[in-house]
Amino acid sequence: MTDAEQAQRESTEPAGLGPAESDICLQGVSKRFAGTTAVDDLDLEIERGAFFALLGPSGCGKTTTLRMIGGFEAPTEGRVLLGGEDVTDRPPYKRDVNTVFQSYALFPHLTVERNVAFGLERRKLDKAEIARRVQETLELVQLEALAGRKPAQLSGGQQQRVALARALVNRPRALLLDEPLGALDLRLRKQLQIELKRIQQDVGITFVHVTHDQEEAMTMADRIAVMHKGRIEQAGGAAELYERPRTAFVANFLGVSNLVDARLGERDGELVTLETHDGARLRAPADRVGPHDGQAVQVGVRPEKVRLLRDGVAPPEDANLLRGTIVVASFLGVSIQYLVRTKGGEELTVVVQNTEGEPDAFTVGSEVQLAWPPRHTFVVAKETHHEA
Amino acid sequence: MLRLSLARRRSLLPWLFVGPGLLWLALFFIIPLANQANVSLQTGNPDTGYAFTWAFSTYTDAISEYQEQFLRSLGYAATATVLCLIIAFPLAYFTAYRAGRFRNLMLLLIILPFFMSYVLRTVAWQLILSDNGWVLARLRDVGLVSDTGRLLATRTAVIAGITYNFLPFMALPLYVSLEKIDRRLIEAAKDLYASPITAFRKVTLPLALPGIFAGSLLTFIPACGDFVNAALLGTSRQFMIGNVIQSKFITILDYPTAAALSFILMSFILIGIFIYARLLGARNLTQAAL
Ligand SMILES: Nc1ncnc2c1ncn2[C@@H]1O[C@H](COP(=O)(O)OP(=O)(O)OP(=O)(O)O)[C@@H](O)[C@H]1O
Ligand SMILES: [Mg+2]
């Protein structure tokens, strides 16, 4: 993980910010509830000013991780650092982070304005300053017209924005967002994703955004950590996670992946050779081989990287090649998606750009060859049961 | 059958629901009230009977003659209400948030006294506080009460009795309003730099106001008119207006004065509630619940 992380850090770092400062840092953090381990020996570093997404399926420990950063849950083991300071034993009200709760948790007895002013009032800022900052933040989230309303008189999207403003107005070190868009319909969610991203860029505060929606994470975040069973499987930029998944879980969770059981063979310069269970010989870059025990692995490729060739057509030299039969062909407009059953029995997805305007280029039942360059191949440890 | 338009039927529907209640109110509240208003303006005596004479003097006489009992009633009731609030709030708070699986047991314990008659419970208090009872002996031992001091037949006994008897009326509405508060709001307050005490002051308390208001009314109003506690735990020096009204009605048969006293008490209570609602902020009371 560290190699890949390093490479990612170098490639995404904004110019002129200097060496990235770690803003939030979890060291060996575990959280056990009676009977379950919600978070398992987790290490996490989030840079200042990053839009960081914690992505994972339901129950993987995202909320618990966020609550430990916010101070609502004490880690069973490990330390939580904010800006280099150990805050493990500090209560939430003494931590310089604010949370946008999934349920919004707006104070029903206070107006929008008083809700937003709540944090500043607790910090005893003077009245004029509070009024000015509340006004400014309400403008930022475009709610100045509704300042006098009670939360019950607002729509879901408006409540969400009040929750955001109430946290942002404090200019905390970091903003923790627990599925802040989860309760909204798809259209509004898309719109607010963009808006959240814009606001984050405007204010430059570190955002830690919890979501189980991979598309949302990829749209918004600079860096994504994929969580699984209380651990971080892989962290990196969206492109890195997509192109170079290090585990089968990541490969399946982000986008569609085609995985075929294989045995790892000899190393051949920059490449490693693999033999699939049905005897095909494939190659993959050595630096795209994820951590694994023994030689039983899975070899994978993303659907859009594969070219379909008719049976008998000579494949490009050096290409990885599998044979199969088209099972399903779906015309999607921009592209055509094929499901191909290989000799070994796997059903692989292939997406072909619709540039020829011939939707029936390959008909169901036709024999095809799947060809792709070795450099798009990745190798992950074999997972006995799939979850996606 | 009558055929009505949908809009018409819609507008009639609410009456169907409130109708029985209105009828009940008219029969057992409005009519007796009007009747008593009439009685309060009559003059006469028990032997010759009473006649309606617009006798407003009954009111002024009643106020000047029983001023002491009126003030005492309001004072005792107010003290007992405050005591109930002080005792019931932590009780309701604990039951709502900390009792866990013992919550239902706690609630049962709170309403358990209702399973026994009001008068009987107060008689039990008479025994507990009696001059040769265990409690007084112990209090004398530790010097909290002088050797000649008493518990029974004192102001303290009457107020304690009222407090005890009306505690559930305070505790239950408080419990309901506290239980309804979303605990995530408290987390949100703490997230926004509020210490636990500030979070309580700024979030829990304002949201519990409707419960505080309801509990106070349910305690204060019946406590004002109570006569059982003063009769059983006090002496004539602790008599409240309820005792006067009771004796006027039942012993002396001076119906006009009894009725006038009732009306005066009612208006005192209404004025009291109005001031109290103003103090708590009537807007808060209705909107906090939203
Ligand atoms: N207070 C608690 N007591 C006991 N178990 C808990 C508690 N909070 C969380 N858990 C358990 O810890 C695990 C992780 O929960 P968590 O809420 O962090 O998941 P999540 O990733 O946020 O899931 P979701 O996407 O569904 O919100 C779950 O198995 C959950 O049942
Ligand atoms: Mg969650």
Q: Which of A105, A119, A150 sits opposite B290 (nearest CB)?
A: A150
B149 belongs to a structural domain: yes
CB A259 within 8 A of CB A272: no
Q: Which of B191, B202, B290 sits opposite A92 (nearest CB)?
A: B191
- The range of the structural domain enclosing residue B94 comes to 70-238
B41 belongs to a structural domain: no
CA B177 to chain CA mean position, Å: 18
For chain A, the distance separating the N- and C-terminal CA atoms, rounded to the nearest angstrom, is 21
Q: What is the pTM of this model?
A: 0.81
Structure tokens at B16: 């169907």
Q: What is the pLDDT of residue A165?
A: 94
Ligand 1 contacts CB of residue A31 (under 6 A): no
Nearest CA in chain A to B286: A109
**With contacts defined as CB-CB under 8 Å, which chain A residues touch B182?**
103, 105
pLDDT at B12 over 70: yes
Q: What is the pLDDT of residue A18?
A: 40
B212 belongs to a structural domain: yes
> Which residues, in sequence order, are bridge partners of residue A232?
A227
Contact (CB<8Å) B194/A103: no
Q: What is the pLDDT of residue A363?
A: 86
Rounded to the nearest 10 degrees, what angle do helices B57-93 and B255-280 cross at? 40
B199 belongs to a structural domain: yes
Interface test with A, best of B186, B193, B202 (most A CBs within 10 A): B193
Distance A91 CA to ligand 1 centre (A): 20
- Print the SS3 string covering chain A: CHHHHHHHHHHHCCCCCCCCCEEEEEEEEEEEECCEEEEEEEEEEEECCCEEEEECCCCCCHHHHHHHHHCCCCCCEEEEEECCEECCCCCHHHCCEEEECCCCCCCCCCCHHHHHHHHHHHCCCCHHHHHHHHHHHHHHCCCHHHCCCCHHHCCHHHHHHHHHHHHHCCCCCEEEEECCCCCCCHHHHHHHHHHHHHHHHHHCCEEEEEECCHHHHHHHCCEEEEEECCEEEEEECHHHHHHCCCCHHHHHHCCCCEEEEEEEEEEECCEEEEEECCCCEEEEEHHHECCCCCCEEEEEECHHHCEEEECCCCCCCCCEEEEEEEEEEEECCCEEEEEEEECCCCEEEEEEECCCCCCCCCCCCCEEEEEECHHHCEEEECCCCCCC
Q: Which residues contact A81 (CB under 8 A, 6 or more apart)?
A: A22, A24, A25, A26, A27, A87
Per the listing, tokens 């450099």 go with A375
Q: Whose CA is nearest to atom 30 of ligand 1?
A: A59
Give the residue among B55, B65, B36 at the shortest CA–CA distance from B244.
Answer: B65
Stretch (H or E) spanning B204: none
Q: Whose CA is nearest to atom 5 of ligand 1?
A: A33
Q: Tell me chain A's radius of gyration from C-alpha atoms.
A: 24
**With contacts defined as CB-CB under 8 Å, which chain B residues touch A118?**
189, 192, 194, 202
Distance A22 CA to ligand 2 centre (A): 24
CA distance A120 to chain B (A): 8
Q: Which atom of ligand 1 is nearest to the CA of A34?
A: 4
Per the listing, tokens 């006004």 go with A135
Distance A175 CA to ligand 2 centre (A): 16
**With contacts defined as CB-CB under 8 Å, which chain B residues touch A93?**
190-195
Q: What is the pLDDT of residue A339?
A: 94
Stretch (H or E) spanning B45: strand B42-45
CA distance A267 to chain B (A): 54
**With contacts defined as CB-CB under 8 Å, which chain A residues touch B203?**
107, 109
**With contacts defined as CB-CB under 8 Å, which chain B residues touch A109?**
203, 206-207, 284, 287-288
Distance A62 CA to ligand 2 centre (A): 6
Distance A351 CA to ligand 2 centre (A): 33
**With contacts defined as CB-CB under 8 Å, which chain A residues touch B194?**
93, 118, 122
**With contacts defined as CB-CB under 8 Å, which chain B residues touch A170?**
192-193
Q: Give the closest ligand to the alpha carbon of residue A35.
A: 1
Contact (CB<8Å) B192/A98: yes
* Averaged pLDDT, B29-54: 90
Q: Which of B184, B192, B284 sits opposite A103 (nearest CB)?
A: B184
CB B88 within 8 A of CB B167: yes
Ligand 1 contacts CB of residue A62 (under 6 A): yes
Ligand 1 contacts CB of residue A59 (under 6 A): yes
Domain count within chain B: 1
Give the residue among A205, A169, A186 at the shortest CA–CA distance from A24.
Answer: A205
Q: Whose CA is nearest to atom 22 of ligand 1?
A: A63
CA angle (A5, A10, A15) in 5-degree steps? 140
Q: Whose CA is nearest to atom 4 of ligand 1?
A: A33
Contact (CB<8Å) B192/A93: yes
CB A154 within 8 A of CB A104: no
Sign of CA dihedral A15, A19, A23, A25: positive
Q: B148-157: per-residue pLDDT in tens?
A: 888 889 999 9
B30 belongs to a structural domain: no
Q: B207-223: per-residue pLDDT in tens?
A: 999 999 999 999 999 99
B3 belongs to a structural domain: no
Give the residue among A160, A207, A210, A216 at the shortest CA–CA distance from A183.
Answer: A160
Q: What is the pLDDT of residue A359?
A: 53
The DSSP 8-state label assigned to residue B237 in this structure reads G
**With contacts defined as CB-CB under 8 Å, which chain B residues touch A92?**
187, 190-191
Nearest CA in chain B to A106: B185
Q: Give the closest ligand to the alpha carbon of residue A227.
A: 1
Nearest CA in chain A to B281: A109
pLDDT at B76 over 90: yes
d(CA A284, CA A320) in angstroms, rounded, equals: 9
Q: Which of A93, A103, A108 sits opposite B288 (nearest CB)?
A: A108
CATH code of B207's domain: 1.10.3720.10
B270 belongs to a structural domain: no
Contact (CB<8Å) A119/B192: yes
Q: Which of B188, B206, B288 sits opposite A101 (nearest CB)?
A: B188
Q: Whose CA is nearest to atom 13 of ligand 1?
A: A38
Residues A107, A111, A113, A117, Cα dihedral to 10°: -40
Q: B107-139: per-residue pLDDT in tens?
A: 999 999 889 999 999 999 999 889 888 888 898
Distance A229 CA to ligand 1 centre (A): 10
Q: Which atom of ligand 1 is nearest to the CA of A102?
A: 27
B168 belongs to a structural domain: yes
CB A331 within 8 A of CB A360: no
Ligand 1 contacts CB of residue A103 (under 6 A): no
Ligand 1 contacts CB of residue A359 (under 6 A): no
Give the residue among B43, B75, B23, B69 at the shortest CA–CA distance from B259.
Answer: B43
Q: What is the pLDDT of residue A295?
A: 81
Please list the pLDDT of chain A residue by residue as tens digits (388 residues).
444 444 444 444 343 344 456 789 999 999 999 989 999 999 999 999 999 999 999 999 999 999 999 999 999 999 999 998 999 999 999 999 999 998 899 999 999 999 999 999 999 999 999 999 999 999 988 899 999 999 999 999 899 999 999 999 999 999 999 999 887 888 888 988 998 999 999 889 999 999 999 999 999 999 999 999 999 999 999 999 999 999 999 999 998 889 999 999 888 888 999 999 888 899 999 999 989 887 889 999 999 999 999 888 888 888 999 999 999 998 888 888 999 999 888 899 999 888 876 655 788 888 999 999 999 999 999 876 544 4
Per the listing, tokens 């970091």 go with A174
- Print the SS3 string covering B101-144: HHHHHHHHHHHHHHHCCHHHHHHHHHHHHCCCCHHHHHHHHCCC
SS3 state at B180: coil
Nearest CA in chain A to B283: A109
